[in-house]
Amino acid sequence: MNTPLIKVIHVFGSITSPLIFITIVTFSFISSSTAASSSWLLIFGDKGAHTVSYMALGFCLFCTMIKPVEQYSLMHIVKKNFMRIVVLWVLIILFGSIIEFLQPRFGRGFEVLDIVADAVGSIVGIFFSILVTSIINRFLVGKESNS
């Protein structure tokens, strides 16, 4: 994979991941009436908000840890990063689960379907990150071969 590309992807992920993490934690622990009135994500419903939020988290966190590969195909990226994908997905699900278990202490409810939405969103975000990286790299490799 193009070395400057991977550095840009890592920097992007390193900057955006903490911001998304803080946003998720903040909206997870404020009162549900405040969250409902201030969250534009709720246009997708509560589960949609979970899915989109954790999709963004999965996307950005994977950007911070993607490993360079020799070829730009999706399968090469997945094979080279398979354990990173699994570990990251488990950690994000654990993060979402911990939040769900703590929410009743802050006047919010525990919902198993929120954890499911978090898991679905995070894996979609991780694979979207792989797809975007593959497309960008394919474009750059094609541009280099034309030069």
Q: How many CA atoms lie within 13 A of 4 on its CB side?
A: 2
Which residue, among 48, 69, 56, 66, has the nearest Cα to 116 in the 3D structure? 48
Please say whether the beta carbons of 118 and 92 come within 8 A.
yes
Please say whether the beta carbons of 103 and 32 come within 8 A.
no
Place of tokens 């979402």: 96
- pTM for this entry: 0.86
Rounded average pLDDT per 10-residue block, the chain, 147 residues: 78 96 92 56 74 97 88 84 96 97 90 95 96 82 57
pLDDT at residue 61, rounded to an integer: 97
pLDDT at residue 69, rounded to an integer: 76
Please say whether the beta carbons of 110 and 100 come within 8 A.
yes
pLDDT at residue 142, rounded to an integer: 61
